[in-house]
A and B are shown apart, each in its own frame.
Chain A
Amino acid sequence: MVKAETNIELNSQAHVHRDDLGARMGMWLFLFTEVLLFGGMFLVYAVYRFQYSDEFRLAAMELNTGIGALNTIILLTSSLTVAASITAIQKGNKLLSIFLLISTIIFALVFMVNKFFEWSAKISHGIYPGSPELLEKQNGEILFFGLYYVMTGLHALHVIIGVVILVFILVFVIKNKINADDHVKLENSGLYWHLVDLIWIFLFPLFYLIH
């Protein structure tokens, strides 16, 4: 046992190795892969928007622009609060940082609640992939709603993952594991959250605004 412990000390030298710039670089690379993941979806969207432009226009009328705009505002605000929480921790204001993180998480949850109502309204009208009512519509409309569910669903999944990450980060901040000196984890989570926001900023006009 004694021997094992000396090993830990010896090894901790290497694993204390801290490289904030490297950590940020790794995160940017990872975000790049996320962009490409959604890029595949945007490619599919572009192909079918081009092929069925009239039917896409028709289908887009059925989406609730109001609720979409509300969610856009909510997500943009949550990006602001997470960015502010990073600044707060950098300035050593732990309480403010915690408050801002909690607000970010609440905004994210509100976004999901809105999404839930939006989806359930559609589903209760019989619009979901494979539904008899949807299958009666034209091909372009079927594809529009198919893409709508897949893309906003995938985005919602990222929101959920983001919330889980932010909850962990919140605990780290409370436990002082993230502090004014060492806050790269919070920064990286913030970057991830901005990405989630950014993807929505593209989804919103593509589905709700272009008529």
Chain B
Amino acid sequence: MADGNIAVAEKSFYQESTNRYKGILSWLLSTDHKRVGLMYLIAIASFFVIGAIFGILMRLELIAPGKTIMDAQTYNTLFTLHGVLMIFLFIIPGLPVIFGNFFLPIMIGARDVAFPRLNLLSFWIYIVGAILVVVSLLLPGGPIDTGWTFYIPYSIRTSTNVSMAIFAAFVLGFSSILTGVNFITTIHRMRAPGMTWFKMPLFVWSTYATAWIQIIATPVIGITILLVILERMFGVGIFDPALGGDPLLFQHMFWIYSHPAVYIMILPAMGVVSEIVPTFARRTIFGYKAIAISSLAIAFVGYLVWAHHMFTSGISDTARWIFSLLTFLVALPSAVKVFNWVATMYKGSIDPKPPFLWVMAFIVLFSIGGLTGLVLGSLATDVHLHDTYFVVAHFHYVMFGGTGTIFFAALFYWFPKMFGKMYSIKWANIGVALFFISFNLLYFPKFIMGYMGMPRRYFDYLPQFEPLQVVSTIGSWLMGITLIIVFGNLIYSLRNGKKAPANPWGGVTLEWHVPSPPPLENFDEIPTVTHEPYDFSQLKEMKYGEG
């Protein structure tokens, strides 16, 4: 492959900008979907690191019963901030705005998203939201201490800066909605000739389903947040039992958004898995349509299961068993996907490169997380496990073990394409192995502690939990080291990595048809799509075939 010729013939999007500025402004004001995606990557990775540091500090506090390094109020603040940062600033926007922005237009054969300026606006709204979170920490009154769920009535009564912090979540939601509108329109209107719905890569399908959830769920949290702020400012009474209001109504409205939000988090990750598995198994995906449709099914059924967060809140038995049934139903499309990925690998020619290893870690961790979700979704067991470490462990297995793992898988898969550099395969492999060990060390003890009755969010605990708490804390240190290795490897490679070929893994979706890094408008000529998305027979005729 003639690297030299391409470098002369085409400039990458790093060398050309969409605006007339140079230097930093050519990035900050760029409407190029790839530059916007990279700016999101920097911002989101930073918040992830801060959130992780908060998590490690919390674990350190819990290494022994009683006060260790911080007082109870600081601990309350830390777990709230850990939640707010990780959920609203990292994992909800995470995969769609980084990899969706960068790759969705390329994968459907478009030059950019449908509304490039709106895309840049979404980024800046996201930044404004992030700034509001930071401001809420510094203002008098102190940082929010309600937990990321900001349940009524405590969130109306506490004197900390709840209003500012949740207004930040409102602003971030607005950014999320605009991104969703943009992606749906892009997928409907910008597909290249021949790119029919069932020729779209599965990452595009899952981003499409995600965008719909962003649109139908986010406004509900928007209005809920506004009501809480108004309640704090004027005492309207809508959620205040003293004035006839109903605090449970808050829980309903909160979860009407926040449960679908976990599918906003996981669906794009499932899409990335559906990209990586065929590429490294050298085999077309098994059950393409089943995976595509199951994304939509998850989006739809996932909208109707919110009250399984409220089984112990006193809602009626009828409501409880209906929501429990629906919760079991929503596990089906997820399982369809897992079985299809495994079936894709069967008799494949597997090349266990780092992205694939991340996916293997994902399948194990996500399966544990998913199955323990069923334990929580059934009524009898949930009463015992509600609000214990079991929930925390389940949530971290599906979110961190699921979406977080795939965040790294996607980084390692698309890094050569995004930056045109190759990272150290050896250190990447070490990173995955350490991640898998430290993850289980950190979170598995929480299943056991939860089962034994350790409540979540407690600053102190009984002595019998100490051994498991210590194991978990040691796991958090190992996780810290792992993250340093993983990010270190990538950051080091940015400068010192070998130049990456256009198609290092032998992928066949459209992003592997363009140079690494891609030119400004992705394609010289909009391609006409003739192949199925994972048809590896086209590797021979591709401009950048193997390597």
Contacts and interface: CB of A to CB of B under 8 A. Distances in A.
A110 interface: no
A51 B189 CA distance: 46
A5 B20 CA distance: 7
Nearest to B224: A40
Contact of B236 (A11, A30, A150): A150
Contacts of B83: none
B253 A43 contact: yes
Interface in A95-148: 128-130, 135, 138-140, 142-143, 146-147
Nearest to A52: B244
Most B Cβ at <10 Å: residue of A4, A25, A29, A48? A29
Interface stretch (B110-118, B158-166, B374-382, B432-440): B110-118
Contacts of B218: 33
A37 B249 contact: no
A173 to B, nearest CB: 20
Contact of B521 (A8, A14, A32): A14
B216 interface: yes
A143 B20 contact: no
Contacts of B222: 37, 40
B22 A29 contact: no
Contacts of B245: 143
Contact of B181 (A26, A52, A140): A26
Interface in B216-231: 216, 218-220, 222-224, 226-227, 230
A32 B227 CA distance: 20
Interface string B188-204: 11100000000000000
Interface stretch (A16-24, A68-76, A197-205): A16-24
Contact of B188 (A25, A39, A40, A146): A25
B520 interface: yes
A154 interface: yes
A41 B243 contact: no
Contacts of A171: none
Interface string B210-254: 000001101110111011001000111110000111100100010
B528 interface: no
A20 B17 CA distance: 25
A149 B231 CA distance: 12
Interface in A42-74: 43-44, 47-48, 51-52
B31 A29 contact: no
Contacts of B19: 8
A23 B189 CA distance: 10
B219 A29 contact: no
Contact of A39 (B182, B220, B243, B246): B220
A30 B219 CA distance: 10
Contacts of A130: 234-236
Given A19-B114, A37-B222, A40-B223, A29 B185 contact: yes
B139 to A, nearest CB: 23
Contacts of A39: 219-220
A139 B243 contact: yes
B177 interface: yes
B185 A143 contact: no
Contact of A146 (B16, B31, B177, B237): B237
A150 B111 contact: no
Contact of A21 (B31, B112, B189): B189
Nearest to A141: B244
B216 A36 contact: yes
A175 interface: no
A22 B189 contact: yes
Interface size, A (range): 35 or more
A154 B234 contact: no
Interface string B92-131: 0000000000000000000110111010000000000000
Interface string B248-280: 010001001000000000000000000000000
B18 interface: yes
B410 interface: no
A41 B20 contact: no
A11 B18 contact: yes
B184 interface: yes
Given A40-B224, A150-B236, A47 B185 contact: no
Contacts of B118: 26
Given A19-B114, A43-B253, A146 B219 contact: no
A29 B224 CA distance: 20
Nearest to A139: B244
Interface string B1-24: 000000000000000111110100
A150 B220 contact: no
A13 B253 CA distance: 45
A150 B238 contact: yes
Contact of A40 (B20, B112, B219, B244): B219
A149 B189 CA distance: 41
A111 to B, nearest CB: 22
A13 B266 CA distance: 36
Contacts of A40: 219-220, 222-224, 253, 256
Contacts of A26: 114-115, 118, 181-182, 185
Contacts of A128: 234
A7 B16 contact: yes
Nearest to A32: B215
B491 to A, nearest CB: 29
Contact of A33 (B177, B246, B520): B177
B189 A19 contact: yes
Contacts of A8: 19-20
Contacts of B22: 4
B223 A14 contact: no
A35 B112 CA distance: 28
Interface in B325-363: none
Contacts of B180: 29
Interface in A79-105: none
A23 B181 CA distance: 10
Contacts of B112: 14, 17
Contacts of A147: 236, 238
B235 A22 contact: no
Contacts of A47: 246, 249
Nearest to A27: B181
Interface of A: 4-5, 7-8, 10-11, 13-15, 17, 19, 21-23, 25-26, 29-30, 32-34, 36-41, 43-44, 47-48, 51-52, 128-130, 135, 138-140, 142-143, 146-147, 149-150, 154
30 contacts: A7-B20, A8-B19, A8-B20, A10-B520, A13-B521, A15-B18, A15-B31, A15-B116, A17-B112, A25-B185, A26-B185, A29-B180, A30-B177, A30-B181, A32-B216, A33-B181, A33-B216, A40-B222, A44-B238, A44-B253, A48-B238, A129-B230, A130-B234, A138-B244, A139-B237, A142-B237, A143-B237, A143-B244, A143-B245, A150-B227
